[in-house]
Amino acid sequence: MAARAPFPAKAPGPTGLGGARPAGLGSRSAAADDNRKVEDRVFSIPNIVQPKDCPAFSDFFEKVVPRINLPYTSRHIIEAFSNIDVKAERVAQILRANQYYEAILFRIVESLGKRESVERLEGAIVLLGMQNTRNTMIALQLLRMVKGGHPEWTKEGKLKVNPAEVLKYALRTEELLSGRKDGYSDTAYAAGLIFDILALLASEMAQDKKKTLATIDAVYLHGLRTAQIAAEISSSIPDFGFKKYVFSACLIHDIGKIIHAIINPAYSQFIEDSGKKELPRQIRHFAERQRFGVSHSLLGGLCCEYFHAFQPVQKAILYHHNPYLIKGGMDGLGQLASLICLSTNIANNFKKAEKADDPILPLWKGVELADFPVDVPSLLKAVSRVV
């Protein structure tokens, strides 16, 4: 007999985990009471006041958007490498449309002492290597997009840029999924690229670079854990419509926090203070909006819009804390948003539970997922596979 998928095609109605609703689970009024009890703790966080305006929006559109809007060359190179059989001819076609980077590629090949034996661009790409060509061109475009200026060369004519250092998150993420048939490592590479861009932005813009870079690492690691959990759960859902984006969407679901940290030096400390006070999620989000004028989920959704590659999952990122707000319910983007929400809850309260009555389960499925059907045995089995 085939194992049941964690999420049935048709929801039986608003039930708790495994069918019966545990006491207190899914009670919005009970949650409201709990929130009121800790409301006074929110305002003990420094500078929690109602802002008169929202400088986060103007800073985002003025300072961040122009640098996350990938140029033509990088966008099309990433798209080309989504095909595992991509040929040098296709990459050459993209580079010929940008003679600046075509000339740089030939200069790199010349620095290897091979220029005289390579007459065509396709040959230069093969000589440098397909993956190395991709990484070098994208790394150079990111640096030019964020920092400006031209690539620097040594006296010996060698390129000073090390693509592996610029694309640290993209290459790490791609490598993690390279062995999975359904891992969609190309999409994961693009998701990691967002972190690389924001890390470059932090090095240029952030007042406290060390603390902001630490925030980027923390958000990445939490996203990675969430993505690993979601990938295991979604593998048991036969008709899940966004499998290409499951891992990447979970990885980037909190990138709005990084944007906040880059444009406002107080944000990293705000995260630290909120964590010390152990505030419920709803109260943390309320405090965030009060202090900074906009939620991190909204900034994350906007980032997906302007990065282009993740426009299809923009709403899932925007509503990942409130998936029930997506029109269409548990189909499509609503299902993806619910899966992100569930997986991040599990990541924040991780445990390899064995029994359906384990007290950790209500923490995984909070009130925001009260109408999201979950088959507990399949869920527990999926979580047990997470390394």
Residue 250: which CATH number?
1.10.3210.10
Ranges 24-33, 130-139, 352-361, 362-371: which has the least confidence: 24-33
**Is 263 contained in some domain?**
yes
Task: Kindly state whether residues 142 and 178 are assigned to the same domain.
Answer: no
Structural domain includes residue 5: no
For residue 17, pLDDT over 50 is answered with: no
Above 50 in pLDDT, residue 140? yes
- Whether 209 is covered by a domain: the verdict is yes
Which of 119, 138, 162 terminates a domain? The answer is 162
Cα 369 from Cα 358, distance rounded (Å):
18
182-191 tens-digit pLDDT: 658 889 999 9
Is the pLDDT at 202 greater than 80? The verdict is yes
287 with 158, same domain?
no
Are both 202 and 141 inside the same structural domain?
no
Per the structure, the count of domains in the chain is 2
pLDDT above 80: residue 41: no
Residues 295 and 380 in one domain: yes
Q: What's residue 11's pLDDT? A: 35
Average model confidence (pLDDT) for the chain? 83
User: Quick count: other Cβ atoms within 10 Å of Cβ 188?
Assistant: 26
Confirm whether 99 is domain-assigned.
Answer: yes
Do 61 and 124 lie in a common domain? no
Same domain, 41 and 181: yes
Residue 54 lies in a domain: yes
pLDDT at 385 over 60: yes
Task: From 162, 180, 195, give the residue that closes a domain.
Answer: 162
Least confident stretch, 21-35, 61-75, 361-375: 21-35
What's the first-to-final CA gap in the chain, in angstroms? 27
d(Cα 172, Cα 246) in Å, to the nearest integer? 17
- 96 and 186, same domain (yes or no): no
**What DSSP designation does 309 have?**
T
Please indicate, yes or no, whether residues 247 and 316 belong to a single structural domain of this protein.
yes
Nearest-angstrom CA–CA distance, 359 and 343: 17
Q: In degrees rounded to 5, what are phi and psi of residue 270?
A: -60, -45
93 within a domain of the structure (yes/no): yes
Helix (H) or strand (E) holding 282: helix 281-292
Q: What are phi and psi of 238, to 5 degrees?
A: -65, -35
Q: Is residue 2 part of a domain?
A: no
Q: What is the pLDDT of residue 277?
A: 77
> Of 13-27, 56-70, 255-269, 331-345, which gets the smallest average pLDDT?
13-27
User: Are residues 245 and 127 located together in one domain of the fold?
Assistant: no
Q: Are residues 86 and 179 in the same domain?
A: no
- Do the domain assignments include residue 81? yes
Looking at per-residue pLDDT, the higher value among 202 and 370 belongs to 202
Number of other residues whose CB lies within 10 A of the CB of residue 229: 24
Domain shared by 281 and 331, yes or no: yes
Token digits of residue 126? 């093969």
* Per-residue model confidence as pLDDT tens digits over 89-136: 999 999 999 999 999 999 999 888 755 567 789 999 999 999 999 999
Q: Which of the 8 DSSP states describes residue 360?
A: T
Which structural domain, as residue segments, surrounds residue 102? 72-162
Domain boundary at 162, 192, 223, which?
Answer: 162
264 and 213 inside one domain: yes
* pTM (two decimals): 0.84
